[in-house]
Amino acid sequence: MARKTTFQKPSLIINDTTLRDGEQSAGVAFTQDEKIAIARQLWEIGVPELEVGIPAMGLDECRRIGALRQALPDATLMVWCRMHATDIRQAAALGMNWVDVSIPISEQMMEHKLARSREQVLTELAEHVSLAKSLGLKVCIGCEDASRAALADLRVVADLALRTGAERLRYADTVGILDPFTTYDRIRALRQYWPLQLEMHAHDDLGLATANTLAAYRAGATHANTTVIGLGERAGNAPLEEVVMALKQCFATDLQIQSHRLPALCDFVSKASGRRIAQQKPLVGEYVFTHESGVHVDGLLKDKNNYQGVDPASLGREHKLVLGKHSGRNAVRSVFASLGYQLANEQIDLVLEQIRHFAERAKRNPTESELRWVYQHLFKSPQRVAL
Ligand SMILES: CC(=O)SCCNC(=O)CCNC(=O)[C@H](O)C(C)(C)COP(=O)(O)OP(=O)(O)OC[C@H]1O[C@@H](n2cnc3c(N)ncnc32)[C@H](O)[C@@H]1OP(=O)(O)O
Ligand SMILES: O=C(O)CCC(=O)C(=O)O
């Protein structure tokens, strides 16, 4: 059952960056076909914007981005660019709708990465935004390392953005240090002097990327970056599937994304990236709708709302009830009944004992055929054999 708050706000627009920041995960490299297939699925399930790559990576990557553009002529596509004229011209030549012109904005990165004065860098930024505008591109200024930057410095960039015609600011928690409370305060503060589109780019180093994305939305962000299964630099970005489902569940904000298709998309991206989905990964992990504990299974059997927060059906999934060390009698009765065996109470106790021993030894739940075997050997065989 969705827990609705009184919070009312226009919907958030997802800019999914699986094909840019997601692919920056160490060792991940999508082929052209994979890039197109991922983009197509994202587009088809209703993700409105995609950040699809980095033209500066060279001719091969530009060809992939160009092919993607041709495959999805109506999709809203963005690429990431440095403050380099060649990158921006390339973005326009590739038919992109948006360009993210990135400026490392913290003192740390100005001094120790770009090694140029702030004045110099801001002049360059203004030139490159103007260039992008003259080429017909929409511009998002990517404020890299915004979470370690002074608010006053972000304000200067916001003023520059208004002067030069940039439509959006991206607030990047590049090193993943924010918590939801600070995120809320920072985005709210930025909102006081930036009236246009504001995009949150969260990293998951502390496991807070989804929470920070929600906090940013609540504080006034209009856009958010996500990646499928949370791919991205280091611990990755805010997972698309989590942001979509959490917005629905926590704020009753429906992004009109076909959530029942998310598990298949996650599976596809997992295979293409070579990154396995953890069994307990929220929403798409193999075991997140599987129940073993007696009290929980009993509750679910009586009414699934007893133990259902997220409805698995919204993801095209269903609850699975299994038997194991923590099972109770009602679970044993029900699971065996579903196999066609009606057990008496004393039989249930015998079965439970066997299952507990099995789980301890095997470190897993018994399969259906193993349960049938238990039944046969406990109640149909002349000699009892332990599972
Ligand atoms: C936070 C982020 O995720 S930003 C996106 C980062 N993504 C990637 O790095 C993946 C793809 N990267 C690449 O293929 C390459 O790094 C390229 C093509 C971008 C650049 O390659 P190279 O020219 O060989 O430079 P290299 O990667 O060694 O160093 C980065 C250079 O870009 C500069 N740079 C970094 N950010 C910016 C920026 N926003 N605008 C302009 N220059 C920048 C650095 O200062 C450094 O310049 P320097 O060589 O004068 O010191
Ligand atoms: O420059 C930007 O757009 C932000 C880039 C990014 O991926 C980050 O800072 O984590």
Model confidence over 118-166: pLDDT tens digits?
Answer: 999 999 999 999 999 999 999 999 999 999 999 999 999 999 999 999 9
Instruction: Give the number of the atom of ligand 2 that is nearest the alpha carbon of residue 175.
Output: 10
5-23: average pLDDT: 85
Q: Are 161 and 125 in contact (CB under 8 A)?
A: no
Residue 278 pLDDT:
98
Q: Is the CB of 83 under 6 A from ligand 1?
A: yes
Instruction: Pick the residue whose CA is nearest to atom 5 on ligand 2.
Output: 144
Residue 381 pLDDT:
73
- Ligand 2 center to 385 CA (angstroms): 61
Q: What is the residue-averaged pLDDT of the chain?
A: 96
Instruction: Give the number of the atom of ligand 2 that is nearest the alpha carbon of residue 172.
Output: 9
- Ligand 1 center to 13 CA (angstroms): 28
Q: Flag whether pLDDT at 57 surpasses 90.
A: yes
Model ipTM value:
0.99
Residue 1 pLDDT:
43
Q: Is the CB of 226 under 6 A from ligand 1?
A: no
Q: Which domains does the chain have, with CATH numbers?
A: 13-273 (3.20.20.70), 290-380 (no CATH)
Q: Is the CB of 236 under 6 A from ligand 1?
A: no
Model confidence over 181-239: pLDDT tens digits?
Answer: 999 999 999 999 999 999 999 999 999 999 999 999 999 999 999 999 999 999 999 99
Q: Is the CB of 92 under 6 A from ligand 1?
A: no
Residue 214's Cα: distance from chain center in Å?
12
Ligand nearest to the CA of 24: 1
Model confidence over 339-382: pLDDT tens digits?
Answer: 999 999 999 999 999 999 999 999 999 999 999 999 999 998 75
When mean pLDDT is compared across 4-8, 227-231, 237-241, 383-387, the lowest value belongs to 4-8
- At 9, is the pLDDT very low, low, confident or very high (cuts 50, 70, 90)? low
Ligand nearest to the CA of 140: 2
Q: Is the CB of 25 under 6 A from ligand 1?
A: no
Q: Is the CB of 101 under 6 A from ligand 1?
A: no
Q: Are 30 and 36 in contact (CB under 8 A)?
A: no
Token pair 């917005």: residue:
247
Q: Flag whether pLDDT at 7 surpasses 80.
A: no
Residue 315 Cα distances to 7, 49, 267, angstroms: 24, 21, 13
Instruction: Pick the residue whose CA is nearest to atom 7 on ligand 2.
Output: 21
Q: Are 136 and 173 in contact (CB under 8 A)?
A: no
Rounded (10°) angle between helices 209-219 and 180-191: 30
Instruction: Give the number of the atom of ligand 2 that is nearest the alpha carbon of residue 20.
Output: 7
The rounded percent of the chain whose pLDDT value lies above 90 is 95
- Ligand 2 center to 172 CA (angstroms): 5
Half-sphere exposure at residue 192, Cβ-oriented, CA atoms within 13 angstroms: 9
Instruction: Give the number of the atom of ligand 1 that is nearest the alpha carbon of residue 101.
Output: 39
- Ligand 2 center to 274 CA (angstroms): 23
Model confidence over 289-342: pLDDT tens digits?
Answer: 999 999 999 999 999 999 999 999 999 999 999 999 999 999 999 999 999 999
